[in-house]
Structure 1
């Protein structure tokens, strides 16, 4: 399959879930079980994902060599939506030397003493690299919005904490992403859209398998009580921050194989659009290479 045809095929799996304008966005318009009519067994899904990962590895090699653009992948989701597995499978073929994963847990006392974007900025990927945020600055307009007692721990002056704080933070995030995009950072944001019923099934599987118990926390079940609040917070976040420079992908997450396929397709498509090539060498460099070849060939 030619490159152009392959990109057209990839768009079939990315376009329905890509959000570049949040006006009128409604989360209920996206089905967590959607597969775009695609039906395949596990082996076929694995083969297709492997092809995508191989292509991504090739694109990453050129990205690394060119060292101008960088790529930031942001993953957000409810618990058990499959973030870790998606990252593991989709990125399995890339060179670890040019890729990093940042998992942002509960902020430290030092991080809480700074503005909410402070701890994220220094972790954005350097030129030529792919950076992955497994949860991100969006937590400050998601979990902190749902559990507003966490806002008190940030010790903000009372005069700056108003009813507009979430709108203001979303505006700050949009501005931050716009700034990064103008510095050559390609931003792709993935909301893995799992249904409440599927989340319950996955929690039950974790409880049924001893080797999965480490992944389970009683707080996971407690958070289900706030499901509607989280959905409202996610909808507001996507509506306020979706843009061409930093699109959201509302990826169906009830079928893991399809989730991984869409994410891989979106990344490959975005990097391929950069139309990168290996750095061209100068005439002087060519002469030095010729000299080096001559010296090597003369060795006994």
Structure 2
């Protein structure tokens, strides 16, 4: 089965109903061995393209991962990016904002972490938390020190969507390509994975009482995600809804989307000038004399 990334892309202007987006699709791989073979091939190709990306130094690539707990964000990042040179990749995980971060606008802290040209930046959660968890828990919004006249729930989310879109348009115009992944996990699969985290001692650290408390807000989160995906998926900076009930399949889909984005860039290794060629020939002669 060939991956058609358009199947997972949210068209600009589409009103998203996540009940119509599958959390599980027919797998690309036929066996565990085939999965490893496919992923290794993708990793090798991604590694090659990342070296070209670093050398050409024209674009930057930002990968944004959003999902409910236990959807497999960490594993996807670890497996898909395992062949990338660490010097060309930066990973940031955004937790509860600090006092300093709360004294700035909601985009400030993530703006400090944007990737440089030639590099890949990965946001494990992102500024989108400000229209997701903050929307589900409005008490967080009230702690952000905003003037009272800006705390209008009827308008603040649309205003934040507009701020996000303006930022992403600006980044795109300046050579940053952004891929946004929503790992779409079913409520039942999350329940099974939470049980695994309890039953397997090496996974106990991944589970907390807060996780089960957040699960109570499942429907509110789905509504927040639907509104967010509908408002912020654009032609140049799209959202991809990746079925996440099968972790292996999700990784293959994510990898294929990243590869497709890289291939669409006009990248090439820097050309060597005639002056530089003469310099290299002179150095070569010196080295040959030392033999």
The TM tier, using the shorter chain, reads over 0.9
CA–CA distance in structure 1, aligned partners of residues 68 and 62 of structure 2:
20
What count of residue pairs does the alignment treat as equivalent? Answer: 290
Residue 164 of structure 1 aligns with which residue? 155
Q: Provide TM-score, normalisation by structure 1.
A: 0.94
1:236 matched to 2:204: no
Q: Which of the numbers 277, 290, 297 marks the counterpart of 2:268?
A: 277
Instruction: After TM superposition, give the deviation of residue 299 of structure 1 in Å.
Output: 1.6
Structure 1: gaps spanning 5 or more residues: 1-8
Pairwise CA RMSD: 1.2
Residue 95 of structure 2 aligns with which residue? 105
Q: Provide TM-score, normalisation by structure 2.
A: 0.97
Instruction: After TM superposition, give the deviation of residue 172 of structure 1 in Å.
Output: 0.7
CA–CA distance in structure 2, aligned partners of residues 170 and 44 of structure 1:
41
Maintained 8 Å contact 1:22/1:238: no
Maintained 8 Å contact 1:206/1:212: yes
Instruction: After TM superposition, give the deviation of residue 43 of structure 1 in Å.
Output: 1.4
Residue 123 of structure 1 aligns with which residue? 113
Instruction: After TM superposition, give the deviation of residue 15 of structure 1 in Å.
Output: 1.4
CA–CA distance in structure 2, aligned partners of residues 64 and 38 of structure 1:
30
CA–CA distance in structure 2, aligned partners of residues 40 and 131 of structure 1:
32
Instruction: After TM superposition, give the deviation of residue 281 of structure 1 in Å.
Output: 1.1
Look up the SS of the partner of 1:211 in the other structure: helix
Structure 1 pair 228–55 and aligned structure 2 pair: CA distance change class (3 A): same
Instruction: After TM superposition, give the deviation of residue 161 of structure 1 in Å.
Output: 1.4
Query: C-alpha offsets along residues 48-70 of structure 1, whole Å, 9 cap, x if unaligned?
Result: 01110110000000000011101
Residue 34 of structure 1 aligns with which residue? 25
Residue 4 of structure 1 aligns with which residue? none
Instruction: After TM superposition, give the deviation of residue 39 of structure 1 in Å.
Output: 5.0
